[in-house]
């Protein structure tokens, strides 16, 4: 690629969203955090009409920041213009969840948004465009997008659970007092929601003296099976409570991680979590967008196979699948 063209949809302004994810994400992309330090980029920013002026202001800021890798910026409220020839699509736009609302409340609003964006991407994006859906309910929004963009290969449509994956690394590193970078191979199974199952059964820490299993190192095993899981499941809500806005910089940063590893590859011996189209691996119903452990190579992800699943994990993996099946049918009922 001479340059990568990235669309970032919505959530740039405080007036029309609670997220600010786009405002945090765009400079990260322009600095090379998403596609590498030598990869020039063009960024197309899409927002809704009432945000058009603010979007112009952001474009001015991008000019003012003089990012060496940034080869062009399009600021538009026209979805077709925004989707033209994009290689990467980061879908932040959605009806936002506020303190006290459940994710399910926003499904009906979001299915319509995702149906429209799917058509625009299908018709105007580059043929092998990679799509990352961030807006909640992320898994189900991605599924809707997939349904309405049948010519985009299903493996190209993913949703963000890297935020949860990174949160798990953060929790373990704090608990053990080790560098976050030395913690590897946590897994987020299922939905990016309060039913997700953060699994540390296969996670390791590089002690400097060889790899050790997280379960061996955490003295309080009970914590791993209880508080750790609930903290993870409620982390998004805790941030909304504290900030009165959902997470933004951590979401933006993990969106960069997601795309970077997908495009450039995961380091040898490590996996990451991505919401991907289920092929039935680990007994998860095909046709859901479900978070699995994946490795990536040459722009393609594959689900890590053959991991041992104990009874406790099985029940949690099935519970989050069940929620996704319910979300899927709710989304379809909104479409009819
Ligand atoms: C997060 O995990 O921070 C967000 O997805 C929370 C939310 O529901 O907006």
pLDDT in tens, 22-48: 999 999 999 999 999 999 999 999 988
The answer to whether 167 is a known ligand-binding residue is yes
Across 221-287, where does the E strand assignment appear? 272-277
Ligand 1 contacts CB of residue 162 (under 6 A): no
Q: Which atom of ligand 1 is least distant from the CA of 138?
A: 5
Residues 284, 290 contacting (CB under 8 angstroms):
yes
| Residue 103, both tokens | 């994710």
329 CA from centroid of ligand 1 (Å):
21
Instruction: Report d(CA 266, CA 189) in Å as an integer.
Output: 18
The three-class DSSP label of residue 214 is helix
pTM (predicted TM-score): 0.95
The answer to whether 103 is a known ligand-binding residue is yes
105: Cβ contacts below 8 Å, ≥ 6 apart = 97
Ligand 1 contacts CB of residue 236 (under 6 A): yes
Instruction: Report d(CA 165, CA 163) in Å as an integer.
Output: 5
**pLDDT tens digits, residue range 232-258?**
999 999 998 998 888 999 999 999 999
**pLDDT tens digits, residue range 196-228?**
999 999 999 999 999 999 999 998 889 999 999
Q: What is the predicted pLDDT for the residue at 110? A: 84
Instruction: Report d(CA 170, CA 175) in Å as an integer.
Output: 9
Q: Which residues are catalytic?
A: 192
Strand pairing partners for 300? 297
Q: What is the predicted pLDDT for the residue at 14? A: 40
Supply the mean pLDDT for the chain: 91
Q: What is the predicted pLDDT for the residue at 19? A: 42
Helix (H) or strand (E) holding 331: helix 311-335
Task: Give the confidence band of 5 by pLDDT, cuts at 50, 70, 90.
Answer: confident
Q: What is the predicted pLDDT for the residue at 11? A: 53
Ligand 1 contacts CB of residue 171 (under 6 A): no
Q: Which atom of ligand 1 is least distant from the CA of 164?
A: 2
Ligand 1 contacts CB of residue 193 (under 6 A): no
215 CA from centroid of ligand 1 (Å):
27
Going by CA atoms, what residue is nearest to atom 9 of ligand 1? 246
The answer to whether 135 is a known ligand-binding residue is yes
Ligand 1 contacts CB of residue 246 (under 6 A): yes
Is the pLDDT at 268 greater than 70? The verdict is yes
The answer to whether 44 is a known ligand-binding residue is no
- Region 253-280: what's the mean pLDDT? 97
């Amino acid at each position: 690629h001479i340059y990568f063209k990235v669309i970032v949809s919505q959530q740039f302004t405080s007036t029309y969203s609670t997220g600010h994810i786009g405002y945090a994400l765009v400079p990260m992309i322009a600095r090379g955090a998403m596609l590498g330090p030598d990869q020039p980029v063009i960024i197309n920013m899409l927002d809704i009409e009432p945000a058009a002026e603010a979007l112009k202001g952001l474009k001015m800021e991008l000019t003012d920041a003089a990012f060496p890798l940034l080869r062009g910026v399009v600021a538009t409220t026209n979805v077709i213009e925004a989707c033209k020839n994009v290689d990467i699509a980061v879908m932040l736009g959605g009806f936002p969840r506020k303190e006290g609302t459940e994710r399910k409340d926003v499904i009906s609003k979001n299915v319509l948004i995702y149906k429209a964006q799917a058509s625009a991407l299908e018709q105007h994006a580059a043929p092998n465009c990679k799509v990352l859906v961030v807006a909640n309910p992320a898994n189900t929004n991605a599924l809707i997008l997939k349904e309405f963009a049948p010519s985009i290969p299903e493996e190209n449509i993913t949703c963000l659970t890297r935020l949860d994956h990174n949160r798990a690394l953060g929790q373990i590193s704090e608990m053990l007092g080790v560098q976050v970078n030395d913690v590897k191979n946590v897994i987020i199974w299922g939905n990016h929601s309060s039913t997700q199952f953060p699994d540390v059964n296969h996670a390791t820490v590089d002690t400097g003296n060889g790899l050790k299993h997280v379960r061996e190192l955490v003295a309080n095993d009970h914590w791993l099976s209880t508080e750790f899981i609930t903290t993870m499941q409620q982390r998004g809500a805790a941030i909304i409570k504290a900030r009165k806005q959902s997470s933004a910089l951590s979401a933006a940063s993990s969106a960069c991680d997601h795309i970077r590893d997908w495009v450039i590859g995961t380091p040898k011996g490590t996996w990451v979590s991505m919401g991907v189209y289920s092929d039935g691996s680990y007994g998860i119903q095909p046709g859901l967008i479900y978070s699995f452990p994946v490795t990536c190579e040459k722009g393609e992800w594959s689900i890590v196979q053959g991991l041992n699943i104990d009874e406790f994990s099985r029940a949690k993996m099935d519970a989050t699948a069940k929620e996704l099946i319910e979300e899927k049918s709710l989304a379809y009922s909104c479409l009819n």
